[in-house]
């Protein structure tokens, strides 16, 4: 049986929470209720109990720690948050969702005047108006959300394993996919500063990086790749500038390879003097941006991953 965590101020959202629980139970999904309101309400955990479990922590951190523990124990398969125009709970909602890895079912039911944004991997459902009773419109929206997250729990990202590694790219124009297909790799092409790349790296869904962007756009992703020892290939017309920007990376790092072109007939590895030991610089004879150049770069990354 799948289990969904339902979080909210049940002093305010009690009726909606009861209806959602009924809908989820119809789909054979168990609900773990966490009440973050000041007053106690029927729930598996109230705010007072959370503070007792994690003394000295803020309520936001208590919620984060509790959800992390439930997930690590294999108890939680998804999370649903009820949130209104309650700015004092916005940080708590962020902490709650952050406790579950990217790719797991996440949804938020929000009042029409709620200004909370949340991350991109969260399903947002807005209730109409600023006040209502439990009319058919509200019930349809609550029911649809309940059925949606239940279905998501049955078909989460963990069901879609692949023997082929997945790599992320940044800064490439045009179709780069054919080169990865030829090397037997899955890929996702990201734009500069795409907020989705760091969580995918952090949670282990991206196994290699190929970059053609300016270094400043890549630094957050390079930090995570270094910490997780994820191989990185950077193509550049100016490898010296790239090397200088990598000096800050920690010594315990995955391999970083900088590939450039010198239009000679045979591959040549340039001097690595003054470069970190884990940074490898290769200047090859293929013309920069040509099919042969990209195939060489992709093969280099594939060899490092496998």
Whether 155 and 170 map to the same domain: the answer is: no
174 Ramachandran zone, left/alpha/beta (phi>0; psi -120 to 50) = left
Whether 71 and 173 map to the same domain: the answer is: no
| Residue 123, token pair as written in the block | 């399903």
Whether 252 and 123 map to the same domain: the answer is: no
Whether 207 and 262 map to the same domain: the answer is: yes
* pLDDT computed for residue 266 by the predictor: 39
Cα-flanking dihedrals φ and ψ of residue 259, to 5°?
Answer: -115, 130
Containing structural domain, residue 261? 166-305
Whether 135 and 177 map to the same domain: the answer is: no
CA distance 170 to 168: 7
**DSSP codes of every residue in 37-88:** SSS--SSSEEHHHHHHHSTTS-HHHHHHHHHHHHHHTT--SEEEEEE-S-GG
* pLDDT computed for residue 175 by the predictor: 78
Whether 176 and 151 map to the same domain: the answer is: no
CATH of the domain at 141: 3.40.50.12020
DSSP 8-class letter at 245: H
Q: Supply angle C-alpha 195, 113, 147, rounded to 5.
A: 70
Whether 179 and 194 map to the same domain: the answer is: yes
* pLDDT computed for residue 250 by the predictor: 65
Whether 251 and 129 map to the same domain: the answer is: no
Tell me the torsion sign for CA atoms 92, 81, 121, 202. Answer: positive
Q: How many CB atoms lie within 10 A of CB 61?
A: 14
pTM confidence score: 0.71
* pLDDT computed for residue 265 by the predictor: 38
Per-residue pLDDT of the chain (306 residues; tens, 9 = 90+): 789 999 999 999 999 999 999 999 999 999 999 999 999 999 999 999 999 999 999 999 999 999 999 999 989 999 999 999 999 999 999 999 999 988 899 999 999 999 999 998 899 999 998 789 999 999 999 999 999 999 998 876 556 667 789 999 998 876 788 999 899 999 999 988 888 898 889 888 899 999 986 666 677 888 888 888 899 999 988 877 777 777 766 665 678 888 988 754 334 444 444 455 567 888 888 888 889 999 999 999 999 997
CATH of the domain at 209: 3.40.50
Asked if residues 66 and 37 have their Cβ atoms less than 8 Å apart, the reply is no
Q: How many domains does the chain have?
A: 2
Q: Please state the three-class secondary structure of 18-45 as a single string.
A: HHHHHHHHHCCEEEEEEECCCCCCCCCE
Whether 21 and 85 map to the same domain: the answer is: yes
Whether 135 and 249 map to the same domain: the answer is: no
* pLDDT computed for residue 42 by the predictor: 92
Q: Among 105, 133, 159, which residue terminates a domain?
A: 159
Whether 72 and 103 map to the same domain: the answer is: yes
Q: Among 132, 159, 186, which residue terminates a domain?
A: 159
Whether 67 and 192 map to the same domain: the answer is: no
């Amino acid at each position: 049986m799948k289990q969904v965590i339902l979080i909210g101020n049940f002093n305010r959202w009690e009726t909606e929470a009861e209806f959602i629980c009924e809908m989820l139970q119809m789909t054979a999904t168990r609900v773990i209720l966490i009440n973050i309101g000041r007053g106690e309400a029927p729930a598996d955990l109230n705010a007072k109990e959370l503070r007792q479990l994690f003394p000295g922590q803020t309520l936001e951190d208590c919620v984060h720690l509790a959800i992390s523990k439930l997930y690590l124990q294999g108890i939680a398969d998804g999370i649903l948050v009820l949130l209104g125009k309650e700015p004092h709970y916005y940080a708590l909602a962020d902490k709650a969702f952050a406790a579950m890895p990217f790719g797991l079912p996440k949804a938020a039911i929000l009042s029409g005047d709620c200004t909370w944004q949340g991350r991109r991997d969260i399903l947002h459902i807005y209730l109409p108006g600023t006040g209502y009773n439990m009319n058919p419109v509200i019930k349809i929206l609550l029911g649809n959300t309940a059925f949606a997250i239940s279905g998501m729990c049955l078909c989460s990202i963990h069901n879609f394993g692949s023997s082929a590694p997945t790599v992320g790219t940044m800064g490439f124009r045009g179709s780069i996919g054919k080169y990865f297909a030829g090397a037997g790799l899955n890929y996702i092409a990201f734009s500069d500063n795409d907020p989705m790349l760091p969580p995918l790296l952090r949670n282990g869904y991206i196994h290699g990086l190929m970059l053609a962007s300016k270094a400043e756009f890549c630094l957050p992703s390079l930090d995570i790749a270094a910490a997780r020892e994820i191989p990185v290939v950077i193509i550049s017309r100016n490898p010296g500038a790239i090397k200088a920007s990598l000096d800050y990376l920690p010594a315990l790092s995955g391999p970083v390879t900088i590939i450039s072109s010198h239009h000679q007939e045979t591959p040549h590895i340039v001097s690595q003097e003054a470069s970190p030991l884990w940074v490898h610089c290769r200047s090859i004879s293929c013309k920069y941006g040509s099919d042969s150049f990209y195939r060489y770069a992709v093969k280099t990354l594939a060899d490092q991953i496998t």
